[in-house]
Amino acid sequence: MAILLGSIADDYTGASDLANTLTKNGLRTVQTVGIPDPSLALPDVDAVVVSLKIRSVPASDAVTAATSAQRWLRQRGASHVLYKICSTFDSTDAGNIGPVTKALSDAAGGGIVLVTPAFPETGRTVYLGHLFVGGQPLNESPLKDHPLNPMHDANLVRVLTRQSHGAVGLIDLTAIAAGPGVVKARLEALSAAGVTAAVADAIFERDLETLGEIALETAVSTGASGLGLGLARALVRSGRISSGGAAPTDAIRPVGGLSAIVAGSCSKATLRQLEVAERSMPVLRLDPERLLAGPDEIAAAISWAGDRIAAGPVVIAASAAPETVTRLQSLYGREASGQAIETAISIITAELVARGVRRLVVAGGETSGAAVDRLAIPAFLIGPEIAAGVPVLRTVGNAQGDMLLALKSGNFGGEDFFAAALAMMH
Ligand code: ADP
């Protein structure tokens, strides 16, 4: 199996988001969790997204992990590799977008890299190199207060220059509106002038289609799901997709088994989804302080689920309203309490799977990462979309047998998301 499009995602839920976009735009796609073991047999797919956790680690670690992932993808035929970053360009002056982009390009033989985080579907647009989040410039959006990567500058040419050794240029909307030929000429001119990365404007999907077509002719590009959309549509237009853009229905072949929902997200949407679920399913609200105190709360949760799960899906949630979360964080520290709860939920999840759960919904980005790592799931085939940005996932090469999952980050999904997700999993 030769991969037509390779991607390296800097976090897990971003990887699912991209894999979902590629699938919706006609590519059969697998998302791997890290670089797969050589023994993993991947299904016949057009695109592979390798999920890493390198957004906020030291730049040298990110470079090492990303270049290893690229080697793996190239060995499997990927002629183009997209480095998938956040559509809000989450990074600092130390990296990691600049260093990883340069390292991937160098390892692939050099050449200029197109860079754009634009994703119009979610309100991320780039004009004259400036990133807008909805109606606001990046530096006036909530991203200015991000705990790990506060974004104080909307000018991505400047942002990327500060974290790069090479020169950074701009391909503006006028060039993009003039079509692929002009973009290609502009890219070549920048490259001849010694520029190693070019930030590209994009406001509409058609801009990303133009960029995707030109990026495909290069070795590496850097962008969010929007650029993935452009690359996928360009590949489909080129006639190189053997599956003919087949619907990913085989990903949702029934797996049987029991079903459960676990939640560690404290977002407004998740809290509302839990309230709605309470009307139709048994919901256990974990006591976070008891979770932090020792293993008793975990054991009690598993026993509670054991008494009910044969009769239908159960929900186990640590999620709490902001005041409760703030109080816990002030007592135990933000990171320590978050991680301890993620670990507790991942242990509960693994116990549920050991007791026969094969259909699983996880609410929370970090929570999902912890659960997937604990279950040691090597890869997912991407199925149909449940809600914007959240597809059904089918495990590939899973030691516990085939499972269907939905990993929902933060504010995603309507208020009946949990029931809607389970209705698509049999
Ligand atoms: P989201 O996608 O909504 O951001 P995450 O899972 O990424 O959700 O993050 C939620 C964080 O909140 C996790 O670290 C989780 O362990 C933590 N958490 C969950 N419940 C509580 C709680 N009751 N008090 C404090 N932190 C919590």
Residue 69 is inside which H or E element, if any?
helix 59-75
pLDDT at 93: 93
State the pLDDT confidence band at 108, using cuts at 50, 70 and 90. very high
For the chain, give the number of residues.
426
pLDDT at 247: 54
Residues in a beta bridge with 404: 359, 394
pLDDT at 196: 97
The region of weakest confidence among 18-27, 136-145, 351-360 is 136-145
pLDDT at 1: 63
State the pLDDT confidence band at 244, using cuts at 50, 70 and 90. low
Ligand 1 proximity of 389 Cβ (cutoff 6 Å): no
Q: Is the pLDDT of residue 149 over 80?
A: no
CA-nearest residue, atom 10 of ligand 1: 265
State the pLDDT confidence band at 77, using cuts at 50, 70 and 90. very high
Which of residues 231 and 41 earns the better pLDDT score? 231
CA-nearest residue, atom 23 of ligand 1: 320
Other CB atoms within 10 Å distance of the CB of residue 154 = 23
Residues in a beta bridge with 151: none
Instruction: Return all residues near 300 (Cβ < 8 A) that are at least 6 apart.
Output: none
pLDDT at 214: 98
Ligand 1 proximity of 361 Cβ (cutoff 6 Å): no
Rounded to an integer, the average pLDDT of 50-58 is: 92
Strand 220-223 relative to strand 195-200: parallel, antiparallel, unpaired?
unpaired
Q: Is the pLDDT of residue 300 over 90?
A: yes
Please give the Cα distance from 424 to 426 (Å, whole number).
7
Rounded to an integer, the average pLDDT of 1-22 is: 92
State the pLDDT confidence band at 42, using cuts at 50, 70 and 90. confident
Please tell me the distance between residue 361's alpha carbon and the centre of ligand 1 in angstroms: 15
Q: What is the pTM of this model?
A: 0.90
Q: Is the pLDDT of residue 365 over 80?
A: yes
Ligand 1 proximity of 197 Cβ (cutoff 6 Å): no
pLDDT at 13: 84
**Per-domain residue ranges of the chain:** 5-238, 249-424
CA-329 nearest atom, ligand 1: 25
Q: Please determine, looking at this structure, whether the domain spanning 249-424 carries the CATH number 3.40.980.20.
A: yes
Measured over the CA atoms of residue 113, residue 378, residue 122 and residue 341, the dihedral's sign is negative
Ligand 1 proximity of 264 Cβ (cutoff 6 Å): yes
The region of weakest confidence among 60-74, 121-135, 294-308, 325-339 is 325-339
Question: Per the structure block, which two tokens stand in for 352?
Answer: 């549920």
Please tell me the distance between residue 341's alpha carbon and the centre of ligand 1 in angstroms: 7
Please tell me the distance between residue 338's alpha carbon and the centre of ligand 1 in angstroms: 6
Average pLDDT of the chain? Answer: 94
Rounded to an integer, the average pLDDT of 268-291 is: 96
- Best residue among 266, 297, 332, 407 to mutate for probing ligand 1's pocket (most ligand atoms within 8 Å of CB) is 266
What residue type is 236 in one-letter code?
V
Please tell me the distance between residue 265's alpha carbon and the centre of ligand 1 in angstroms: 5
Question: Per the structure block, which two tokens stand in for 372?
Answer: 């997937």
CA-267 nearest atom, ligand 1: 3
CA-nearest residue, atom 5 of ligand 1: 364
Q: Is the peptide bond before 398 cis (omega within 30 degrees of 0)?
A: no
Using DSSP's 3-state secondary structure scheme, residue 8 falls into: strand
Please give the Cα distance from 231 to 221 (Å, whole number).
10
Superfamily of domain 5-238: Putative sugar-binding, N-terminal domain (3.40.50.10840)
Q: What is the pLDDT of residues 206-229, one digit of tens each?
A: 999 999 999 999 999 999 999 999
- Best residue among 272, 366, 408, 412 to mutate for probing ligand 1's pocket (most ligand atoms within 8 Å of CB) is 366
Please tell me the distance between residue 264's alpha carbon and the centre of ligand 1 in angstroms: 5
Ligand 1 proximity of 16 Cβ (cutoff 6 Å): no
Q: Is the pLDDT of residue 333 over 70?
A: yes
Q: Is the pLDDT of residue 275 over 90?
A: yes
- Can you give 136-167 as a three-state secondary structure string? EEHHHCHHHHCCCCCCCCCEHHHHHHHCCCCE
Ligand 1 proximity of 267 Cβ (cutoff 6 Å): yes
Question: Per the structure block, which two tokens stand in for 342?
Answer: 């993620």
